[in-house]
Amino acid sequence: MIAVVSDFEDRPVGTFAEGLSLENITGNHVIIDVGDGVSALSNHLKKDSPTVNVGDEVRKGEVIGRVGNSGNSSEPHLHFQLFRGTAPLSGDNVPFEIDRFTFDGTMTIERVDPADAGPRTDQYPLSESITSYPSP
């Protein structure tokens, strides 16, 4: 575990934070060292929801926090990325696949389009995808 931040309040839905610094844009977050110089960032977490501490070892399926609306976010969601470097917004992004999830549809301005919905394996959900994940 590299970093845990959990002291930002959730933003009201539909509003954007003003004057955020680059250090605060991710809001509440957890950064995990996954090896070989790669780190995993989970951000926009709910205030005080991270369940891990710097130095903890994390295992697959372990809850590390709850989805929130902190940082540069207008609605509750999880932003997840893998990166190489010293900071998530300045490092190189690393591609990844998710071993198992359900694609529920695509978010549009007016609706959710459920076309082609269903289970997926070894894929990466595309931008604007609405997905759900099995319980650990």
Show the CA angle centred on residue 58, arms to residues 77 and 41, nearest 5°.
35
63 and 104 part of one domain: no
In this predicted model, what pLDDT tens digit does every residue of 54-107 receive, in sequence order? 999 999 889 999 999 999 988 898 999 999 987 877 888 898 888 888 988 887
Contact between 93 and 83 under an 8 Å Cβ cutoff? The reply is yes
79 and 13 part of one domain: yes
Contact between 27 and 8 under an 8 Å Cβ cutoff? The reply is yes
The parent domain of residue 122 ranges over: 98-132
- pLDDT reading at 136 higher than 70: no
Domain count along the chain: 2
72 and 109 part of one domain: no
Please report where in the chains the tokens 């990466």 appear, as a residue: 124
83 and 110 part of one domain: no
22 and 75 part of one domain: yes
pTM over cut 0.75: yes
39 and 106 part of one domain: no
91 and 122 part of one domain: no
Residue 23 — very low, low, confident or very high, per pLDDT cuts 50/70/90?
confident
The residue ranking higher by pLDDT, 50 or 130, is: 50
